[in-house]
Structure 1
């Protein structure tokens, strides 16, 4: 037939179309096909015919046979109609179940969003499985270990020249530069990246060349946010940004604008220049050093190669490249200079590798919050299960009638599962909406930046969750209800049997989780309060700090520190004129910042020594009220102190083994001329997560620098100025600081920090964690209370006649209360007893993160038990009051 449409379309039409319709329908389609073919040709006619057949695939056209009439879809439709009627008829219990599931789902989704984001860090890069960050661990035995995720600058060529498995090696460095010319220059963090950085990572260019965004050393790329910041709505491409590089101000051409980097990235920057500028920024010694760690080095492996192949060759390559270079006077030995590889996606949640430029999250907290989300959801499911099981006696006649009429067990199971899935669907609809609305609040609590944009595949995920949650919550009640024996129902016999034990077990588990969360919240709150109230050995109330600037001409570290103190001395003289300002001082580090200068050396007896270094002016110790146990502090105008005096903390005295420290020197022959003049008490200059470490305090760092062989500075050692403000409003103190800063340094930006806020920020993750656990605890209490409310109501309804008889016999409301509360009290006491060992174990694991910790007192368990019992008794008391008000005559008439 010359004018026949596609045969496969005809076969599909014959497969689904009802026999009574196909002849007319196919005839009409043929007529349309022939007409269209004459007008537009065969190809278009064939396409349109297929489209017409597909449009005909609708419910009204399907075959009407016995199989379709009893189909799964028809039964499901009827079951959902029945489920709606049942839920509507019992509005009170349906509302309790709906509210409990909604709260559980909301909590689960919010914590799930957080966990998903934390475990998704760096996974947006297409080559993520082949990208590794190198780390360096120097191990010379006897505790002489230096472990860094930052590496020497020469590592980039080391990998590319010696490992054929490496496709590319790139480096990432962060440095602070003054940006701009003239007045109001801004101190910005600028990243220094390899020219082919974007060939390894999938950061998106909005403008500029994606393959070569930094074609020359004089180019700079900026984020969309910073393009708006510096150029407003004007075109950024081709404009210039000026950076202070050494003594010179250099103009960099904006060669590209990239999309703002996602929160879930361990590499995050807004301004970047090329590593081709390294010769201007670093000395030749730094460029070729093996022990000077500056950059994060990333390698991209070739496809089909493994990191094990690289690791197996590492020591041979290191020893061949380093030659006679070694630690001290000895040549480097095997396994002393170790280079390892960390997968890119492992960086964010692995605290075992030292910090690089990006913060690392605590995987323990991610696990805990994820577990809490599951537990709260599980409580909601148990709540539904116990309430539905408790209602089983009321629905026994319904089951009996259905079975008499021929319903199979599996049909009943399917019916009751439909009810739970329908209710879960409604709860998911409300819970998902609420969770989306609560994301901004959740972000503030967790310090994250969760941003969700609905996509269609999310509907599939939520549908799957509805099916899973609905099945878990409804399976047990469905099995219970469908298992009722028809003969027992018709005789009016009890259907509970051994099922009550399972129901009581679920109630116990629900209470156990609730009591566990209450106790956990109390212990966390006690530990955080302990951290906030513990005497740190310093006075930091109303103390303000600001970062000083070093002279652009200062190159060496000692010169930069010295020039920072000189600039600070000018600002200090102006600040001291104000009567409301007292105790103005300077120091290379202030409290509440981590990573104080870490130095190490081997003394004249071959003993490895390490310590922290703090360089201050004469007023620093006095500003913070640091106690001197022996000797004296630094004195203003004392030339000897300015040149050679040293103060140790108590831990440093013990570390160096000094029995009579005053007048002594640090053990070793390499230090410059110095003398110990005092010993301070052990004040806490780092967070209470760690013990107080040895600290050396000086006014002149040069004698100490002369004797050390290793060091790292995570916190910049450029001095900070601090002062105490005695006025009524701290903001007035910052106004004074701003005024004097701008008068002295009009071309440089300024910033300030409150020391008490910085110290509190050290425990921000614990504080956020406690808030989230507290919220989860409140939600679990609400869910458990809803369940208890429904169960106690069912108990009251099942004992209406018994209560009526007891009232006729003279029973008091108290005795009726004891009758109703007895069963729940026993379950709650069992839950409390079981929760104690679990709580002790889990909280001891958490408290192990702190060198200084509170105790887990028995009173915390007593308090949480009282709270749980009080909630339970309040709910039961409500129903007791209702039961005691029922007229005995009316209750005894109840059938």
Structure 2
């Protein structure tokens, strides 16, 4: 073991201490060190020595250190001192540069925060690289493909019992249950979790036992916010919560409090009970079924285990259970990485929606482009001031400064400006996050950790170098002879500068065009005639009988309760067109039924259970045949209505009085055909739809059933009053009188329909913000360009004025210098915009026409901005005294 103090502390002392004082000070410290080492040991002596070295540090000593006076530190400090003086002297251009870079950095950081949040989903789990979600794909050929990430209950045992690579399997079900007894019961989303769930995932248990959070069958876990919601400031642990489980209301004891789940999680819940309740919730049959899908199943692989090894064994394991029911390759189980769930639309969504990765990459690219054009602005403005600094360069070169020295000096200016802009831009970003969230509907957060300081410093340095490297080489490359002769320092035709300007204009015009097209598509979707009227239509979720078990019982009991509410609402003159149905416009995932017809053709169609007034409630016209008649017993038992897509799909040329092709359906007949109306979003084509008052005849003939949207009936009505705020008062009063123990849940249908395009509307808002910022930066860039043009042609302008040139002539002279670059940018932006926007529009089955007009508007906007800047500089140049212009050397 060394008997000397830490070497790095010695070096630090030698670095800052004056050489005349070093020997005495170091000797004294060594004596203290040896004494402490003898008395207390080496560790205590080391700590004492480090503390004394730090205590001896004086800022004034650093300034007097000869070691530093000739070092790179002094040179750097000198460069930054000169850079600060240069920036302070030219306040106008410094302000323009600073504003442009600050805007670019703020835009880059805001977009970056959004992209970072989207890419960081599920990254906080320590075992994320070993966690996978299972999916099930049944492929029976001829279009019989069923692909789901919601899988059977028995998959948990399947993985744990058949794959040694699996450390454990966890299960998650999220469904709605009524919470409470008596009055004020709330319909809440409840998670049903396997007992080992918190051992697989890193959701924090604040109170309770993480290893065994469900000590009993009737244990319940609540989040911190929901503990406050239900129990206020009281201690929630040990309190009772009542849940409707099947036909009965059961009391659960709060056994754990968990921290609120982060926004960046694909798994979201606030209340959870154990899968030990599965038998009561779903029945023994569902627990053993291979073709009934209920939960999301997750597996945690052992360390070092390969998911490929699990996949290779999967078919053999499946056939060991299902060889008598399916052929090999028909029943396929796969595993999806946990971190892949949020941004992979190729796998069907489970309980959480899947984001579009294209939008994330688009916004990231836009943030980067805006930052790039801000850097281009700086380069343009710096070169625009080249004539002002030509003499400075000449004098420095005469005094012996080499090109490398000048490059470092001018880079110091850009680095200093970039660091200031980075600081201001970061503060601006923090201030704008709430506004950004409110404007765009996002939920980004700004968090700061110590290492972020290094990241921001690195980004600032990178921006400074990127923005300043080209101007630094241009300025340092001026020739002394040319400077002394007063010649041009342009270095030819400035091909690189013109290329940068074309790129800047191209990005600006591209963003303007993209914004206009996206806005047109979003408006098209929100305003398109969907085939029904929905303005001022209100949807109310009905309450089925708690004892109802089968789906048909849930629907029937919900409809019966709906009749009570309907009778009460009919007393209000402003409430009209009351109807009921299992699904509502604005919600996707309507009931999907499938069967094999009598010609062995597999058929799939959407199904809607309604009352006799539903079509009238939305003004849906029956083009052939008739609508349902209220009180018509035959309609209530067996009549169905189909849309035109269904008539075409089933090949029914004369559908009225006909039946659906197939032998297994109950007694039914088609009484009407509607025009196609968009009951799902405009992302997809209108599907075949069957509408019936009685679901039983249709359900008898189907072999496959799937529903993602809740089929619990909804009552709808049109409110004709002038004040929509009165709807809640009317509904609340009647609901309380009929269902005093249930919570009221209603919404406006037009809002639900617009929510279908929330992602597109958000993307459009984000790009609009970026476009506005890019236009502002482009204006600053044009200012830089015109400074360059005016400075380089100031003598010519003076001579032309002496010869009688008018402001219009000067305007034409200045425009000619860059108008071709703007036109080139506009021409290049058109194919780029068409290519990218066509890929985006391909996501919609119904889309607007792009048209030439949008590109004309984009180009004219860019030209108008440019013209305004040129007019400003034309007026400035016109006011210059020709005598002063001709004196410029």
Structure 1-normalised TM-score?
A: 0.96
For 2:69 and 2:45, locate their aligned partners in 1 and report how far apart those are by CA, in whole Å.
35
Q: 2:872: which partner in 1?
A: 878
Change (3 A) 1:676 1:888: same
| Matched residue SS, 2:138 | strand
Looking at structure 1, the residues matched to 382 and 698 of structure 2 have their Cα atoms a distance apart, in angstroms, of: 74
1:232 aligns with 2:232: yes
Match among 344, 352, 366 for residue 338 of structure 2: 344
Aligned residue number for residue 888 of structure 1: 882
Q: Structure 1 pair 884/622, CA: closer, same or farther in 2 (3 Å)? A: same
Q: CA deviation at 1:550?
A: 1.2
Q: State whether structure 2 residue 685 is matched by structure 1 residue 658.
A: no
Kept in 1, the 8 Å contact 2:377–2:784? The answer is no
Partners of 1:543 and 1:756 within 8 A in 2: yes
Q: Distance in 2 between matches of 1:26 and 1:112?
A: 50
Task: Please tell me whether the aligned partners of residues 522 and 860 of structure 1 are also in contact (alpha carbons under 8 angstroms).
Answer: yes
- Of 507, 512, 516, the residue aligned with 1:518 is 512
Q: CA deviation at 1:69?
A: 3.6
For residue 338 of structure 1, report the CA deviation from its aligned partner: 0.8
Question: Contact 1:21/1:61 (CA < 8 Å) preserved in 2?
Answer: no
1:817 paired to 2:782? no
Q: CA offsets, 1:52-80, max 9 Å, x none? A: 13444667667999874432211110000
Alignment of 1:689 onto 2:683: yes
* Equivalent position of 1:174 in the other structure: 174
The corresponding residue for 2:842 is: 848
3-state DSSP of counterpart to 2:725: helix
Equivalent position of 2:316 in the other structure = 316
Query: Does residue 412 of structure 2 align to residue 418 of structure 1?
Result: yes
1:551 equivalent in structure 2: 545
CA–CA separation in structure 2 for the residues paired with 1:769 and 1:533: 18
Distance across 1 between alignment mates of 2:132 and 2:223: 25
* Cα gap change, 1:512 to 1:8, in 2 (>3 Å): closer
Q: Secondary structure at the match of 1:494?
A: coil
* Structure 2 CA distance for partners of 1:894 and 1:342, relative to 1, 3 Å: same
- Name the stretch that deviates more: 587-596 or 41-50: 41-50
**What is the Cα deviation at residue 610 of structure 1?**
0.2
Pick from 767, 785, 795 the counterpart of residue 791 of structure 1: 785
2:772 aligned residue: 778
Report the equivalent of 1:329: none
Provide the rounded CA distance (Å) in 2 between the counterparts of 1:297 and 1:637: 47
1:626 aligns with 2:617: no
Deviations 1:191-230 (A, max 9, x none): 0000000010000011000111112111000000000000
Please list the CA deviations of residues 773-808 of structure 1 after superposition, one character each: whole Å capped at 9, or x if unmatched: 111111111101011113213322333332222122
Say whether the 8 Å CA contact 2:6–2:46 is kept in structure 1. Answer: no
Q: Secondary structure at the residue paired with 1:454?
A: coil
Report the counterpart of residue 574 of structure 1 in structure 2.
568
Report what 1:721 is aligned to: 715
Q: Counterpart in 1 of 2:488? A: 494
Q: Any residues of structure 2 matched to 1:51-130 within 5 Å, and which?
A: 51-56=51-56, 68-130=68-130
Corresponding residue number in structure 2 for 1:358: 352
For residue 627 of structure 1, report the CA deviation from its aligned partner. 1.1
With normalisation by structure 2, the TM-score equals 0.97
**DSSP 3-state at the match of 1:282:** helix
SS at 1:143 equivalent: coil
CA distance in 2, matches of 1:14, 1:746: 79
The DSSP-based 3-state class of the residue aligned with 1:776 is helix
- Contact persistence 1:613–1:695 (CA under 8 A): yes
Q: Any idea what SS the aligned residue of 2:176 has?
A: strand
- In structure 2, relative to structure 1, the CA distance for the partners of 1:43 and 1:616 (3 Å cut) is closer
| 1-structure distance, mates of 2:859, 2:453 | 41
Shift of 1:489: 2.2
Take 2:31 and 2:160, find their aligned partners in 1: how far apart are those partners?
Answer: 70
Contact 2:149 2:347 in 1 (8 A): yes
Q: 1:889 to 1:490 in 2, by over 3 A?
A: closer
1:266 aligned to 2:272?
no
Q: Take 1:366 and 1:452, find their aligned partners in 2: how far apart are those partners?
A: 18
Distance 1:7 1:252 in 2: 61
Check 1:46–1:139 CA distance in 2 against 1; reply closer, same or farther (3 A cut): closer
> Contact 1:203–1:258 (CA<8 Å) still a contact in 2?
yes
The answer to whether residue 226 in structure 2 is matched with residue 221 in structure 1 is: no
Residues 582 and 714, structure 2, Cα contact 8 Å, conserved in 1:
yes
| C-alpha distance in structure 2 between counterparts of 1:446 and 1:362, whole Å | 16
Q: Name the residue aligned to 1:249.
A: 249
Match of 2:196 in 1: 196
C-alpha displacement at 1:765, in angstroms? 1.1
Aligned length: 887
How far the C-alpha of 1:442 sits from its partner, in A, is: 1.4
1:837: Cα distance to partner?
0.5
Q: Does residue 865 of structure 1 match 2:851?
A: no
Deviations 1:278-312 (A, max 9, x none): 00001222111111111000000011111100101
User: What whole-Å deviation, never above 9, does each CA across 1:576-605 have from its counterpart, x for those lacking one?
Assistant: 121111111100011101100011111121
- 1:11 CA displacement: 5.8
Greater mean deviation of Cα atoms: 535-544 or 70-79: 70-79
- Please identify, of 702-711 and 295-304, the stretch whose mean Cα deviation from structure 2 is larger: 702-711
2:494 partner SS: helix
User: 1:328 maps to what in 2?
Assistant: none
CA offsets 1:670-726 (integer angstroms, 9 cap, x no match): 111111111010001011010000000000111111111111111011100000111
Given the alignment, which residue of 645, 649, 656 partners 2:643? 649
Note the C-alpha offset of 1:48. Answer: 1.3
- Whether 1:377 and 2:371 are equivalent positions in the alignment is yes
Q: Secondary structure at the match of 2:491?
A: coil
Question: In the superposition, relative to structure 1, how do residues 222 and 721 fare at CA in structure 2: closer, same or farther (>3 Å)?
Answer: same
Q: Distance in 2 between matches of 1:77 and 1:890?
A: 38
Checking the alignment, whether the CA contact within 8 Å between 1:134 and 1:296 is kept in structure 2 is yes
CA distance in 1, matches of 2:34, 2:796: 82
Show the 5 A alignment for 1:726-805: 726-805=720-799
Distance 1:777 1:465 in 2: 23
1:29-71 CA distance string (max 9 Å, x none): 2555577679878764553133213444667667999874432
Distance change >3 Å, CA 99–CA 65, structure 1 → 2? closer
CA distance, structure 2, for counterparts of residue 620 and residue 10 of structure 1: 83
Residues 81-123 of structure 1, C-alpha deviation per residue, up to 9 Å, x if partnerless? 0000111111111111111000000000000000000000000
Q: Say which SS state the counterpart of residue 283 (structure 1) adopts.
A: helix
Query: 1:491 Cα deviation (Å)?
Result: 3.0
1:309-358 deviations in whole A, cap 9, x for unaligned?
01011111111112423xxxxxx011111111110000000111111100
Deviations along 1:517-542, whole A, 9 cap, x unmatched? 11111111111111122110001111
Distance (whole Å) between structure 2 residues aligned to residue 652 and residue 4 of structure 1: 91
Q: Deviations over 1:550-585 (max 9, x none)?
A: 111111111111111111111111111211111111
SS of structure 1 residue aligned to 2:134? strand
Which of the residues 478, 481, 500 maps onto 1:484? 478
Distance 1:546 1:403, change over 3 A: same
